[in-house]
Amino acid sequence: MSEHYLGIDLGGTNIKTGVMDPAGRVCSKLSVPTEAKHGPDDGIDRMCRAGRDAVEQAGLEMDRIRAIGIGSPGPLNHKQGTVSPANMPGWQDVPLRDRIGRHFDLPTTLENDGNVAAWGEFWVGAGRDADSLVMFTLGTGIGGGIVVGGSFIRGFFDNGAEVGHMIIDPRGRMCNCGQRGCFEAHASAAHTANMATEAVQAGRRSSLKDVLDCGESITTERIVEHMQAGDELAREVWHDACKAIAIGTINLSHIINPELVVLFGGMVYAADLLLDPVNEYYKSLRSAIFADNYARIVPAELGNDAGFIGAAGAAKLRAERGELD
């Protein structure tokens, strides 16, 4: 009986894949380099081989797999099943869904990487007992996923849950996307590091200057270290990011009003150093009239596995709804 699902999560650096049983248990998982620079044909071959290896590693024959779910960075075109990941030059309108579906001769669904990660956390992670959730993936940029009403929000133009590009400060920082004041421009790991670097370069006194003087780059890890050692600029920049995350959370709490906001990404591993100030700003900035009707903020639980788990989960969702036949 074919009741298992294969998830394949395409990233700019790695392809993560694994097999999930219908109860949401991981039967196998593995990771291989994407080598995106070798182009999409090579990349698709790698995805197929990794997928096949994951099925074998799970001790299953291919006929036990009911459907395949793929997660990919956007932009993607859901109707056509194509992807053009912004961070993978040369990958333009790649027909990922049909190429992989044909290779395995299995029903295949293609979804945005933020949505599959959110769906993974909803299925078996931090949100497994929740009614609904919004996920923020705090990395170089800020992505996200929205799970509500038992499904995720794909968007009419396939650009749903791009929470990183809501404007939270029209006089704020310029975002890579071309908008001023995006959530991402105020809270992503890359922009937080940039804020510190710019301040040091502008002559602001800070122990972070030593990092630049050694020819290294300022990262959020360095910012956290220097903040803990008492550096004021590091503290300020970190708190500005926490405040922006709180504002993003307030906004999604008003718009979606989910049970949970799940935070994921390198910055979250600073754990209480991030969650405590975020929660403080979250409580002090928000409105009293909505009382406690705000989402609870929790860290993600599945780490980098959320993508392939959620991709497999999205295949299960769509297969059970008869949308993949």
Neighbour tally for 136: CB within 10 Å? 31
If one asks whether residue 247 binds a second copy (CB under 8 A), the answer comes out as yes
String of contacts with a second copy for each residue 52-91, x by CB under 8 A? -----------------------x----------x-----
Q: Residue 35 and residue 46: Cα distance in Å, rounded?
A: 9
In sequence order, which residues have a C-beta less than 8 Å from that of residue 176 and are 6 or more positions away? Answer: 141, 184, 185
Using the rule CB under 8 A, which residue among 198, 290, 320, 321 binds a second copy?
A: 290
230 binds a second copy (CB under 8 A): no
Q: Minimum Å distance from CB 301 to a second copy? A: 19
Q: Are strands 142-148 and 82-83 parallel, antiparallel or unpaired?
A: unpaired
How many angstroms separate the CA atoms of 129 and 124, rounded? Answer: 9
Sheet with 4-10, edge to edge strand ranges: 26-33, 14-20, 4-10, 65-72, 108-112
Q: Contact region for a second copy (CB under 8 A) — 23-31, 57-65, 194-202, 252-260?
A: 252-260
| Pairing between β-strand 14-20 and β-strand 4-10 as defined by DSSP bridges | antiparallel
- The two structure tokens encoding residue 293: 């009707």
Tell me: does residue 148 bind a second copy (CB under 8 A): yes
Under the binding rule (CB under 8 A), the answer on residue 167 touching a second copy is yes
CA distance 154 to 219: 32
At closest approach, how far in Å is the CB of 276 from a second copy?
20
Q: Is 29 in the site for a second copy (CB under 8 A)?
A: no
Task: Tell the smallest beta-carbon distance from residue 57 to a second copy (Å).
Answer: 35
287 binds a second copy (CB under 8 A): yes
The answer to whether 44 contacts a second copy (rule: CB under 8 A) is no
Stretch near a second copy under the rule CB under 8 A, chosen from 202-210, 225-233, 257-265, 267-275: 257-265
Q: Which of 162, 111, 142, 175 is nearest to 245 (CA)?
A: 142
Secondary element (H or E) of residue 209: helix 209-213
288 binds a second copy (CB under 8 A): yes
| Minimum gap (Å) between residue 122 Cβ and a second copy | 13
149 scored as a contact of a second copy (CB under 8 A): yes
Instruction: Quote the CA–CA distance of 252 and 254 in Å, as a whole number.
Output: 5
Binding of residue 179 to a second copy (CB under 8 A): yes
Position 169 contacts a second copy (CB under 8 A): yes
- Look-up: residue for tokens 């053009």? 84
Residue 278 binding a second copy, by CB under 8 A:
no
Residues 88-147 touching a second copy, rule: CB under 8 A, are 131-132, 146
Pairing, β 296-299 against β 108-112: unpaired
Residue of 6, 168, 195, 242 that binds a second copy (CB under 8 A): 168
Residue 299: strand pairing partners: 263
> CA–CA separation, 103 vs 236, rounded Å?
52
- Tell me which residues touch a second copy (CB under 8 A): 75, 86, 131-132, 146, 148-149, 151, 153-171, 175, 177-180, 243, 247, 250-259, 285-290, 292-295
